[in-house]
Amino acid sequence: MWPDEAAAQASAETLAAALLPSPNAVIELHGPLGAGKTTFTRLLLRALGVQGRIKSPSYAVMESYELPGGGTASHFDFYRFGDPREWEDAGFRDVFAAPGLKLCEWPEKAAGQLPPADLQLFIELQPDDSRRVRAVGSPALVEALQ
């Protein structure tokens, strides 16, 4: 449960610790518009040491970051993703074939292309503005979020 962004930040920090030293995982962020998928992704990238602006990738679909400890993190927002050919054309096949961290908002819109996730987060917005989070996947990553 995330009562507020500070709680989400605490989860991002423990998850970052579980992913380091060489983040290499596919993480799906499920939840409706405004659930907090981008917010959590930003908190996780910050916890991994990314500095500077972290844009929402809505229009570009993908934004990539070099991690200070080495490696790459790629943040996807598949909300406007439609044509499976775009997967090839945009080079996403290569990104997913290479090691690194992949953070995917709206993964259901690219379900036919995405490889199996290491961690799925299901974020539910509650009436009091808190977030209920369910984690499914690799036990080491799920436990890091408890």
Ligand X SMILES: Nc1ncnc2c1ncn2[C@@H]1O[C@H](COP(=O)(O)OP(=O)(O)OP(=O)(O)O)[C@@H](O)[C@H]1O
What residues between 32 and 91 interact with ligand X by CB under 6 A? Answer: 33-39
Query: Can residue 102 be called a binding residue for Mg ion (CB under 5 A)?
Result: no
The Cα 57–Cα 64 span in angstroms is 9
Query: Can residue 105 be called a binding residue for ligand X (CB under 6 A)?
Result: yes
- With respect to Mg ion, which residue has the nearer C-beta, 38 or 120? 38
CB of 106 to Mg ion, least distance (A): 8
Q: Is there a contact between 48 and 67 (Cβ–Cβ < 8 Å)? A: yes
| 77 to 27, 95, 113, 122, 140: CA distances (angstroms) | 12, 14, 14, 15, 25
Q: How many binding residues for ligand X (CB under 6 A)?
A: 15
Of 30-38, 47-55, 60-68, 86-94, the segment contacting ligand X by CB under 6 A is 30-38
